[in-house]
A and B are shown apart, each in its own frame.
Chain A
Amino acid sequence: QQQVKQSPQSLIVQKGGIPIINCAYENTAFDYFPWYQQFPGKGPALLIAIRPDVSEKKEGRFTISFNKSAKQFSLHIMDSQPGDSATYFCAARDSGAGSYQLTFGKGTKLSVIP
C-alpha cells in the first residue's frame, strides 16, 4: 500500500506555465514533507520542505501548499522553465517512530516545453 499517493504521473506544460503536483497521505504521524527533484541518472535533490504546522512555504519559484485536515500537500512551480524538466517526488517522514527514513510518492515526470 502506497503511503504517499502522488499525482499526476506525468505533466507537460508550456514555458511560463504553473505546473501543480499533488500528494496525499494517510499516516497522521508524518511530520515532515519534502519535495525532491531528480534529473535522469542523478540522485534526488531536496527542493523544498514543509512541516504540518505551516500552510504554505515559498522558496523562489517553488511553493508548497499544505492542507493538514485534508492530509494533502502540493507543489507549485511558478514561471516554469525548460530546465525544470525533471521527475519530482513528494515524500514524508514520521520521526516520532524513531526513524528518519523517507517514504516517497511514485513521482511526477514534468516536461516544460519551450
Chain B
Amino acid sequence: AAGVIQSPRHLIKEKRETATLKCYPIPRHDTVYWYQQGPGQDPQFLISFYEKMQSDKGSIPDRFSAQQFSDYHSELNMSSLELGDSALYFCASSSKGANVLTFGAGSRLTVL
C-alpha cells in the first residue's frame, strides 16, 4: 500500500540558509500535517492543510512557511535556519474528518 512519501530523507544546511521539505500524501488523502520532532522529544504540530488551504496552525516559526499544491503534495519552506531547527520533520496525511493520521518516515534536517 502506498504510504506518505517525504523527501529528502536527510538534509544538511548551514546557519542562515534555507531548506525545503516535500511531502506526498497517501492517494486520496486531502489533509496534510507537518510535525517537528527534536531529539528525544515528542512530535510538535506545526501546521496543516486541507484542500490546499491552511486548516490549523501550531508552533510554526515565522521563518517557516508551507503550502499544499493542487496535487495535494505539500512543501515546508524554512528560511534563516538556526541550530535549533535541527530535528526530524514529519509529514502526516489523512482524509478530512478521518481519525487516522499516517506519518511518513520523516526528513532529518541538520543545521551546522
Query: Is B truly associated with A?
Result: yes
Known A32-B99, A46-B100, A99-B56; judge A104-B42 contact (CB<8 A).
Answer: yes
- Nearest to B4 among chain A residues (CB) is A43
Which B residues from 78 to 100 make CB contacts under 8 A with A?
90, 92, 94, 96-100
Q: Is the CB of B90 within 8 A of A44?
A: yes
Q: Is the CB of A102 within 8 A of B42?
A: no
Contact among B44, B55, B103, B108 for A44, CB-based, below 8 A: B103
B102 adjacent to chain A (CB < 8 Å): yes
A106 adjacent to chain B (CB < 8 Å): yes
Q: Is the CB of A101 within 8 A of B42?
A: no
Contact among B4, B33, B90, B101 for A46, CB-based, below 8 A: B101
- Nearest to A32 among chain B residues (CB) is B99
Distance to closest chain B CB from A10 (angstroms): 10
Q: Is the CB of B43 within 8 A of A104?
A: yes
Per-residue interface assignment for chain A, residues 18 to 60, with 1 indicating a CB less than 8 Å from any chain B CB and 0 otherwise? 0000000000000010101000011111100100000000000
Interface residue count on the B side (C-beta < 8 Å): 27
How long is the Cα–Cα vector from A6 to B34 in the complex, in angstroms?
22
Q: How large is the interface on A (under 10, 10 to 19, 20 to 34, 35 or more residues)?
A: 20 to 34
A103 / chain B contacts, CB cutoff of 8 Å? 45
Q: Is the CB of A43 within 8 A of B106?
A: yes
Contact among A43, A44, A100, A104 for B48, CB-based, below 8 A: A100
Which A residues from 92 to 106 make CB contacts under 8 A with B?
93, 95, 98-106
B97 / chain A contacts, CB cutoff of 8 Å? 95, 100
Q: Is the CB of A107 within 8 A of B42?
A: yes
- Nearest to A43 among chain B residues (CB) is B103
A89 adjacent to chain B (CB < 8 Å): yes
Interface residues of A (CB under 8 A from B): 32, 34, 36, 41-46, 49, 89, 93, 95, 98-107
Known: A43-B104, A101-B45, A107-B42. 19 other contacts (CB 8 A): A34-B99, A36-B103, A41-B105, A41-B106, A44-B90, A44-B103, A49-B99, A49-B100, A89-B43, A98-B56, A99-B56, A100-B94, A100-B98, A100-B101, A101-B58, A104-B43, A104-B44, A105-B42, A106-B42
